[in-house]
Amino acid sequence: MHELSLAQNLIEQLVRLAAEQHAGRVVKARVRIGPLAGVVVDSFGFGFDAVKSMFAVTCETVLELDCPSAGYRCLVCGREDDQRKPADAPCPDCGEKGKQFPVGDDELILLQVELEGEDGDKIAG
Ligand SMILES: [Zn+2]
């Protein structure tokens, strides 16, 4: 499963980060999933929860997901909209119908991590 391996990669990244910062615990991880990443967000969250319990530093980590939606660009004139129009709706600029394609990034990015030191102190990260 694609999402599970992505979740695994993320957890490994968090575990490594915690070790580098000498943190005892990863409190929170904020992750952005690009609109074209092809990630099923629910499955990713499920995978994260399944994998995080395998490591002491991540077993209580709260996952926050930032999932922007894709934009749509007209193939003919390049006009961009933030929503897909029905296939029979003409483009307001050029009048072409059904020529939109989705635009956006496909990256999964770790935006922010909140770590806690071994003695319970907060570490900015
Ligand atoms: Zn157009």
Cα 68 to ligand 1 centre (Å): 23
Q: Up-side HSE of residue 68: CA atoms within 13 Å toward CB?
A: 15
CB 44 within 8 A of CB 2: no
Per-residue confidence (pLDDT) for residue 23, from 0 to 100? 96
Per-residue confidence (pLDDT) for residue 49, from 0 to 100? 96
| Least confident segment among 2-6, 27-31, 48-52, 85-89 | 85-89
User: Would you kindly state where each structural domain of the chain is located, as residue ranges?
Assistant: 2-68+105-123
Cα 23 to ligand 1 centre (Å): 52
Q: Residue 85 — very low, low, confident or very high, per pLDDT cuts 50/70/90?
A: confident
Cα 87 to ligand 1 centre (Å): 13
Cα 76 to ligand 1 centre (Å): 5
For the cut 90, the answer to whether the pLDDT of residue 87 exceeds it is: no
Per-residue confidence (pLDDT) for residue 77, from 0 to 100? 97
Cα 67 to ligand 1 centre (Å): 26
Cα 36 to ligand 1 centre (Å): 21
CA proximity to 61, closest of 113, 117, 122, 125:
113
Cα 90 to ligand 1 centre (Å): 8
d(CA 111, CA 99) in angstroms, rounded, equals 33
For the cut 70, the answer to whether the pLDDT of residue 100 exceeds it is: yes
What average pLDDT does this structure show over 54-83? 95
Per-residue confidence (pLDDT) for residue 7, from 0 to 100? 97
Q: 2-68+105-123 sits in which CATH class? A: alpha beta
- Write out pLDDT tens, residues 26-58: 999 999 999 999 999 999 999 999 999 999 999
CB 46 within 8 A of CB 117: no
Per-residue confidence (pLDDT) for residue 74, from 0 to 100? 95
Per-residue confidence (pLDDT) for residue 124, from 0 to 100? 60
